């Protein structure tokens, strides 16, 4: 992974969820003046106020609101996080140039644009990568039948109105399965496989995270402001900080290997159970999803 791409992954990650995208568009029905007024109030509200991020998000329009929802650190937060030289570098361009061009294309339905981003980024760079690595680590050959190229090519010809209707995703697919799959299964909302980051960062991983992100090695690299890292680590457990900390942990491990050139596996605390080695050289039996 090149440094430019590493920073892009640090700032945010483009993923698509059709139902959430539909809800985003429904929020546009609230008058723009009202949304912007609420956003202005939120910008001057205390940093820990509940709902502050949501109101700032609501104040944006169209594709800007979508991109904001998939951004890990907003620009003003980047200014607080990065050292001045690094901020000047990353703020000179936008990691969302390709996504913006796709979302603002006039020859394509908005849902098709989101699905295009999904196919180009979220699937190959995130969930499929994780499934492949975790399954292969346990000698399991995973298959994704709904991503068969012939099925994908056919799905691309289906009108958007048959893919998402009244907040129901995979609409035509579920209609086709009616009578073959129990109705409660078809009505059940999508459920992911979340990692309990909050519990980890509150307890058994707290010292591990602090030592990793606030090490002398990380400070010498000069990419981040120590005070900003301290604030994030000290605020552990807050739901809006967990993914940010996870992102910074991933970046730091990447930096130790590819920027410092002196990487070594890092054992997790014994409280996690069996030792879990963080790093690409970890033996299969030491990996726990």
Residue 254 CB-density burial (10 A; 0-12 exposed, 13-18 middle, 19+ buried): middle
Q: Which residues contact 194 (CB under 8 A, 6 or more apart)?
A: none
pLDDT digits (tens, 9 = 90+) for 106-158: 888 888 888 888 888 888 988 899 889 989 999 999 988 989 999 999 999 99
Position of tokens 């990419």?
223
pLDDT digits (tens, 9 = 90+) for 52-89: 667 666 666 667 777 777 788 888 889 999 999 999 99
pLDDT of residue 283: 38
pLDDT of residue 178: 94
pLDDT digits (tens, 9 = 90+) for 189-242: 887 777 888 888 888 888 999 999 999 999 999 999 999 999 899 874 455 688
In whole angstroms, how far apart are CA 37 and each of 10, 131, 245?
30, 42, 31
Task: Report the chain's mean pLDDT, rounded to a whole number.
Answer: 78
Closest residue by Cα to residue 121 from 98, 154, 91: 98
Instruction: Supply angle C-alpha 66, 67, 69, rounded to 5.
Output: 65
């Amino acid at each position: 992974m090149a440094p430019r791409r590493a920073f892009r992954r640090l700032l945010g990650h483009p993923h698509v969820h059709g139902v959430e995208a539909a809800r985003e568009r429904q929020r546009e029905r609230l008058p723009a003046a009202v949304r912007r007024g609420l956003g202005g109030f939120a910008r001057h509200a205390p940093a820990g106020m509940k709902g502050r991020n949501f109101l700032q998000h609501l104040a944006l329009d169209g594709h800007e609101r979508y991109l904001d929802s998939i951004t890990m650190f907003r620009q003003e937060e980047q200014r607080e996080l990065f050292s001045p030289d690094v901020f000047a570098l990353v703020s000179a361009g936008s990691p969302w140039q390709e996504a913006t061009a796709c979302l603002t294309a006039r020859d394509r339905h908005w849902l098709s644009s989101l699905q295009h981003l999904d196919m180009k980024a979220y699937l190959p760079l995130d969930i499929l990568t994780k499934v492949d690595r975790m399954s292969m680590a346990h000698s399991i050959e995973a298959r994704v039948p709904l991503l068969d190229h012939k099925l994908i090519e056919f799905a691309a010809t289906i009108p958007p109105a048959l893919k998402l209707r009244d907040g129901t995703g995979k609409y035509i697919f579920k209609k086709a399965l009616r009578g073959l799959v129990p109705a409660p299964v078809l009505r059940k909302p999508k459920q992911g496989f979340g990692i309990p980051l909050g519990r980890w960062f509150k307890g058994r991983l707290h010292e591990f995270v602090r030592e990793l992100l606030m090490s002398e090695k990380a400070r010498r690299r000069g990419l981040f402001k120590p005070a900003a890292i301290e604030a994030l680590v000290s605020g552990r457990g807050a739901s809006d900080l967990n993914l940010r900390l996870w992102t910074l942990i991933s970046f730091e491990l990447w930096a130790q290997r590819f920027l410092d050139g002196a990487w070594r596996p890092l054992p997790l605390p014994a409280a996690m159970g069996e030792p879990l080695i963080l790093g690409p050289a970890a033996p299969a039996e030491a990996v726990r999803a």
